[in-house]
A and B are shown apart, each in its own frame.
Chain A
Amino acid sequence: MLGVIDACFIIDWCRYRYRGLLEKFFSTLFVHEETLEQLKSERSITYISELLAKGILRLYPWSHREEDEFLKLRSEIASNSRIPSLERPDILCLIMAKNLNATLLSENVGIHRVVEFHKEYGNVIVWTALETLENLVYKGLLNISSTNEFLRYVKEYEYDTGHIFKSSRLENSLRRLKSWLEK
């Protein structure tokens, strides 16, 4: 499975006690060199270096055609007051995920909102850590026998990263897991 990873996701995920599970889930994760330039802390650089050394993480070969796509998308979404700041590397990640048909790992609310309303990007699958944890369960990389056990994993993630998932999103996730457990 292919993934694209952005800076906000890396910054949080690298604090998670089970961060190593990500490399068991994805065969290849792509990153843009401009995303790497956003990372300055020892923790995130160490994590990303490990993924690169293991061959899981690869630099994406950005093209001129995609640069045109970036300019178009940026102008289409500019100045919408309800979309939090989107830096260039975040938008590049979205374009990469669309063109690779890969899952985008992003905690950036602005990116999630672009996917919600922009027709050309509406098919891009974007996961926060919550959907990532959920899909680790489906793949058998996190073992649970009840939704309470999943909640325990979520609480650990929240504790490690200082990240809280909205109750509505968590409820949706628990509903899907409950029906999966009942199968």
Chain B
Amino acid sequence: MAGKIKPSKELIEKWIREDEEARSIRREKANWDFIEKQPPKIRLALIVFIETGDIYKAAHIANLTIDEFDELRLKAGIPVIT
């Protein structure tokens, strides 16, 4: 059975910084007026996307496929960051 392969502490610290930078851009660019007007589940999904950048989690919450959710996040002005 395969064991877990763990990234180094330095790499994890770098990822934490990258995640924080991306989160801050998503928060800043998001159209919060649009988000506030959405039904609770959709609003939650958009906020989860802003906070995590995780399209699978967000799409799952909204009960949408990832490309359907992608249309939604575009309307909400939330960028994908890579």
Q: How many residue pairs bridge A and B at CB < 8 Å?
A: 100
Contacts of A80 in B (CB 8 A): 4, 6-7
Q: Contact between A162 and B7 (Cβ–Cβ < 8 Å)? A: no
Q: Size range of the interface on B?
A: 35 or more
Asked if B67 is at the interface (CB within 8 A of a chain A CB), the reply is: yes
Closest chain B CB from A114 CB (angstroms):
9
The answer, among B4, B15, B71, B81, for a CB contact under 8 Å with A41, is B71
Closest chain A CB from B26 CB (angstroms):
9
Q: Mark A159-183, 1 if CB is under 8 A from B, else 0.
A: 0011111100100000000000000
Q: Contact between A11 and B79 (Cβ–Cβ < 8 Å)? A: no
Q: Size range of the interface on A?
A: 35 or more
Asked if A51 is at the interface (CB within 8 A of a chain B CB), the reply is: no
Also in contact, A84 and B53, with CB within 8 A (given A77-B5, A162-B77, A164-B81): yes
At the interface, is chain A mostly helix, strand, loop or mixed? helix
B: residues with CB less than 8 A from A are 1-8, 11-12, 15-16, 18-19, 21-22, 25, 29, 52-57, 65-68, 70-71, 73-74, 77-82
Instruction: Beyond A107-B82, A162-B79, A164-B80, list 14 extra A-B contacts (CB 8 Å).
Output: A8-B80, A11-B66, A38-B65, A39-B65, A39-B67, A41-B68, A76-B3, A76-B4, A84-B56, A85-B57, A119-B5, A161-B80, A162-B80, A163-B82
